[in-house]
Amino acid sequence: MTFDDYVRVRGPALVRLARLIAGDRHLGEDLVQEVLTKAFPRWGRIVAGGRPDVYLRQMLVNAHISWRRKRSSAELVDGDTRVERADRADIGAETAARDAIWRQIRLLPTNQRVAVVLRYYEDLDDVAIAEILNCSPVTVRTHIMRGLAALRAREGSLR
Amino acid sequence: MNDVIVAALRENAEGDERIEQLLTAVHAGARHRQNRRVGAALLSVLAATTLLIGSSAWWPGNRGTVPIPETAAARPPATGGMNAIEAPEVVGSDPTLFHLDVADLRGWSSVAWSSGRNGHEELVAETSEGGEVRIELSRDPQTLAQRGGVTGSAMVWGNTAETTDYGDRHMVRWQPAPGLWAQVRSGVDAADALRIAESVRLDRVFRCAVPFRLVGFEATTLVKCATHFTVLYARGSPKPTVLPIALGPWGEVWLSIGGDPQTEYQVAMTQAQVAASGMPAQRITRVPARMTPPPSPAKAGWEVPAGEATAYVWGFGAPDEAVMTALVGAIRPVDDVLDMESWPTGPFG
């Protein structure tokens, strides 16, 4: 499979995942572009490794962590959707609940947020997530449990 | 809540992906990077030449003389006993003991110690930027095995170390004592991984502290214990202090009960207050508790509110319902989970 073929088939999923990992639509799209730009010259080796999906997801997570290092956390947290949606007056109860939980997901520490996204959006198991996060499956469970505990606690405080 | 999370993630992931535009931008970016790489190669030749002419002071052999910085404060309670250098066989032999430490916690936002019975101990830190540093100590080098990467060598406290560059992360592995292997993995850069490796200390022993006791369960059921700290620095202070903000401290134990090695139970507790309106009416041995959907791959879960904290009991493999409820009833939380001084230095008793 050529690089362009892969991006046409798997690119949309990668973009959607990046939006969630970055917590911001535009940052996510920039993140994918940066990762694919780095992957392109080594595409032959990546394909030879047999698991380009895993490799590119690892690159995505690592690139996001590098970005956070370079940028202030405030810049990442105060993205566009948060402000736009909080001001909507005619928001339905379900939409409001989704909106609230998304805002809280974005506030989770990076590893917890990525683990929650990979579990609940990508539907990956602990072992697959551990491979992407470069940690043990036990650590993945801890990230997810801590993330859920934080979301539950913050959900309670919003009531 | 899981359904809301899934719906929220789907809603915020969707949108126009514009793949052809993305491909055009990627190809243009790749060409630009290639041009920059040629320029950078020429500059690095110039820089290396300058360094050779101007420098003669730094040699790897000087590393062993660097003094160990003063130890910071945010740690589990220390105890006596043989350390990892004196007796490598103690590593990963008692889940209530940690034999792994670092001299400097600066730049880290959280640090977690964990120990099991499988000859392996681990210290995982999250940097303030969200990266992860993983330090492992093992009696079996196979448990530290990594695939691929570009290998090299370095020195860590007089020991020859193997370095591996995976591009996005870096690994340093060395043998601090016969029969014992240590490994640092860092996502920052190779120099950072080596700096952390040199800050690893193996001359201390700590106890696993958790914010609860389990009454009526045998210590022999314990297979793993972990303590998580949030590290925070007071303004102007060079030393970190433990400040239990939001979800700061966290203690967890893993138990094997019933003889099935595939079935394990996890009891964890952290600061996560359940809203008064959400307090469960059900009680297990006078403890308010409720069953809760477990995070995969756990098969069963209980949530136990305890003041400003919440305990969780998760069952993995084929958990026994009676054991789950017995664990819920056995939890004796500390009065104030935020006061880490009050945590017992062991999960049983």
Q: What is the pLDDT of residues B2-31, one digit of tens each?
A: 888 999 999 888 887 788 888 888 887 777
Give me the pLDDT at residue B34, please.
Answer: 56
- Which chain A positions have a beta carbon within 8 Å of B30's beta carbon? 37, 40-41
* Mean pLDDT, all residues of chain A: 79
- Which chain B positions have a beta carbon within 8 Å of A19's beta carbon? 12-13, 15
pLDDT in tens, B55-105: 322 222 222 222 222 333 467 888 888 999 999 999 999 999 999 999 877
Q: Tokens representing A58?
A: 């690892």
Share of chain B above pLDDT 90, in %: 29
Best of A64, A141, A154, A157 to disrupt the B interface (most B CBs within 10 Å) is A141
3-class SS letters over chain B = CHHHHHHHHHHHHCCCCCHHHHHHHHHHHHHHHHHHHHHHHHHHHHHHHHHHHHCCCCCHHHHHHCCCCCCCCCCCCECCCCCCCCCHHHCCCCCCEECCEECCCCCEEEEEEEEECCCEEEEEEEECCCCEEEEEEECCHHHHCCCCCEEEEEEECCEEEEEEECCCCEEEEEEEECCEEEEEEECCCHHHHHHHHHHEECCCCEECCCCEEECCCCHHHEEEEEEEEEEEECCCCCCEEECCCCCCCEEEEEECCCCCCCCEEEEEEEECCCCHHHCCCCEECCEECEECCCCCCCCEEEEEEECCEEEEEEEECCCCHHHHHHHHHHEEECCCCCCHHHCCCCCEC
Give me the pLDDT at residue B63, please.
Answer: 27
Q: Does A67 touch chain B (CB under 8 A)?
A: no
- Is A11 in contact with B19 (Cβ distance < 8 A)? yes
Give me the pLDDT at residue B177, please.
Answer: 93
pLDDT in tens, B129-171: 667 789 999 999 888 876 677 888 999 988 899 998 877 678 9
Of the ranges B67-76, B247-256, B281-290, B319-328, which is most confident? B319-328
Q: Does B35 touch chain A (CB under 8 A)?
A: no
State how far the alpha carbon of B53 is from the alpha carbons of B41, B49, B62, in Å. Answer: 19, 6, 20
Give me the pLDDT at residue B349, please.
Answer: 65
Give me the pLDDT at residue B132, please.
Answer: 79
Q: Does A156 touch chain B (CB under 8 A)?
A: yes
Q: How confident is the model at residue B270 (pLDDT cuts 50, 70, 90)?
A: confident
Average pLDDT over residues A140-155: 83
Say how far apart CA A102 and CA A107 lie, in whole Å. Answer: 9
Lowest mean per-residue pLDDT among A110-124, B99-113, B177-191: B99-113
Residue B187: Cβ within 10 Å count: 23
pLDDT in tens, A130-143: 888 888 888 888 88
Q: Does B22 touch chain A (CB under 8 A)?
A: yes
Peptide bond into B319 cis (omega under 30): no
B147 vs A10: which has the higher pLDDT: A10
- Is B9 in contact with A134 (Cβ distance < 8 A)? no
- Is A41 in contact with B30 (Cβ distance < 8 A)? yes
Chain B segment 115-154 residues within 8 A of A by beta carbon are: 122, 124, 126-127, 129-132, 134
Say how far apart CA A147 and CA B309 lie, in whole Å. Answer: 15
Domain layout of chain A by residue ranges = 1-78, 90-159
Max Cα separation, chain A? 52
Say how far apart CA A111 and CA B228 lie, in whole Å. Answer: 15
Residue of B241, B253, B242 lying closest to B210 (CA atoms): B253
Say how far apart CA A17 and CA A19 lie, in whole Å. Answer: 5
Q: Which helix (H) or strand (E) holds A80?
A: helix A80-86
A29 φψ region: left (φ > 0), alpha (ψ -120 to 50), beta (else):
alpha
Could you tell me whether strands B283-284 and B287-288 are parallel, antiparallel, or unpaired per DSSP bridges?
Answer: antiparallel
Confirm or reject CATH 3.90.1300.10 for domain A90-159, answering yes or no: no
Q: Does A107 touch chain B (CB under 8 A)?
A: no
CB B165 within 8 A of CB B190: yes
For chain B, the distance separating the N- and C-terminal CA atoms, rounded to the nearest angstrom, is 35
Say how far apart CA B193 and CA B196 lie, in whole Å. Answer: 5
Of the ranges B279-283, B310-314, B335-339, which is most confident? B310-314
Question: Which residues is A46 bridged to in the sheet?
Answer: none
Instruction: Supply the angle between the helices A110-120 and B2-13 in degrees, to the nearest 10.
Output: 90
Say how far apart CA B110 and CA A141 lie, in whole Å. Answer: 17
- Which chain B positions have a beta carbon within 8 Å of A92's beta carbon? none
Question: Which residues is B112 bridged to in the sheet?
Answer: B124, B228
Give me the pLDDT at residue B274, please.
Answer: 61
Q: Which residue of A has its CA nearest to B251?
A: A142
Q: Which residue of A has its CA nearest to B170?
A: A134
- Which chain A positions have a beta carbon within 8 Å of B2's beta carbon? 120
Q: Does B37 touch chain A (CB under 8 A)?
A: no
DSSP helix/strand/coil, A1: coil
Question: How large is the ipTM?
Answer: 0.82
State how far the alpha carbon of B9 is from the alpha carbons of B15, B20, B59, B95, B126, in Å. Answer: 12, 25, 52, 37, 24
Average pLDDT over residues B195-207: 92
- Is A135 in contact with B124 (Cβ distance < 8 A)? yes
Say how far apart CA B209 and CA B203 lie, in whole Å. Answer: 19
CB A29 within 8 A of CB A35: no
CATH no. for B88-207 = 3.30.200
- A77 pLDDT higher than 80: no
CB A37 within 8 A of CB B33: yes
Smallest CA–CA distance, residue B270 to chain A, in Å, is 8
CB B231 within 8 A of CB B240: yes
Best of B3, B6, B11, B12 to disrupt the A interface (most A CBs within 10 Å) is B12
